[in-house]
Structure 1
Amino acid sequence: MDGEQHYHDVLAELRPEHRALRQMIPEVYQGFNAISEASLADGALSRKVKELIAMTIGIVQGCDGCIASHAKGAARAGATQEEAAEAIGVSIMMHGGPATIYGARAFSAFTEFAGKTAAT
């Protein structure tokens, strides 16, 4: 977990793996991309809120790739550190101790993508 760009590296590491699999099953990836875009589009809930929800699901699932992807999405959608922290707090309430580990990772990812440093 060392390094300033760890979560950028997580996404970069996964990119060729996704590309190889996407070449084998392009229809599945097209369907997944379509549902992702439809699910994350602004509606009654904003894209920002939906990205925060997805990030917290990544926390509960212990998925660093999901955390990185949706922390980046939340930061791009304009989420603040306070909003990310509160969303992470809900995942801790729902999932307990494991969420404190992946929640801390998610907060680091969010602050990395938001271009800020986490308070120590």
Structure 2
Amino acid sequence: MYDMNHLKKLGTLGKHAENAMKAFQSLDKEALDDGTIPKKYKELIAIAVALTTQCPYCLEIHKKHAIEAGATQEELAEVTFVAAALRAGAAVVHGTHLMHES
């Protein structure tokens, strides 16, 4: 199901929803451009989110951009465990919904 070649179809998707695609591309560019938060950190944040949502397309795209922005293998490894900790933490705190008040 996941094949990076599917990304070649983004143009077709955009043709069928041109205004929405342009708006998305504008938001994406603005959100990820260098700003108060440097681009490298934004890309590392994007990787953490992609690891959490488990989007292989986002992982590939943002890994490439993070490395281009200067991210190291050590930073990519650490961001992996940040995402893992957040996912595990979410499971733990959601477990409180299973508990009865004592």
TM-score when normalising by structure 1: 0.66
Runs of 4+ in 1 over 3 A off after TM superposition: none
From 23, 26, 31, give the equivalent of 1:34. Answer: 26
Identity over aligned pairs, percent:
30
From 72, 76, 86, give the equivalent of 1:84. Answer: 76
Give the C-alpha shift of residue 39 in structure 1.
0.7
Please show how residues 5-84 of structure 1 align to structure 2 within 5 Å: 10-11=3-4, 13-84=5-76
- Asked which structure has the greater RCO (Cα within 8 Å, sep 6+), the reply is 1
- Based on CA coordinates, which of the two structures has the bigger radius of gyration? 2
User: Tell me, which stretches of 5 or more residues in structure 2 are unaligned?
Assistant: 89-102
TM-score when normalising by structure 2: 0.77
Q: CA RMSD in A?
A: 1.6
SS at match of 2:37: coil
Aligned length: 87
User: Tell me, which stretches of 5 or more residues in structure 1 are unaligned?
Assistant: 1-9, 97-120
